[in-house]
Amino acid sequence: MTAPLSTLAFYILAAFAEIGGCFAFWAVLRLDRSPLWLAPGAVSLALFAWALTRVDADAAGRAFAAYGGIYILASLVWLKMVEGVAPDRWDLIGGAICLGGAALILWGPGRG
């Protein structure tokens, strides 16, 4: 079984790889960037898929469900750090609720 910190590290890697890969497509399709952005975007999405398979969970659906909370938090960090938009209090409260839900899914009673 993977240690909780290792699981969290793989989730964080997966989240930023997914966001980066999706942002590459966003940049091409919405921001008129060069289609050359798609190559690193595809590599980033492959890294996302690999990282998500490294999470120790008894079922893929449970791993994916818990990942949702991490993805939301990482998206808020991306919003601030890359796009320069400060999350508001509702973003932060919602992110905290989702992160709590992810922790329950992974580490609730009877689990790891």
Average pLDDT rounded to a whole number, residues 83-101: 94
**Per-residue model confidence as pLDDT tens digits over 72-81:** 989 999 999 9
Average pLDDT rounded to a whole number, residues 63-76: 89
| Nearest alpha carbon to residue 70 among 19, 2, 1 | 19
Half-sphere exposure of 105 (CA within 13 A, CB side): 24
Query: DSSP assignment of 82-106, as one string?
Result: TT-----HHHHHHHHHHHHHHHHHH
pLDDT, position 2: 53
pLDDT(1) > 50:
no
Q: What number of residues does the chain have? A: 112
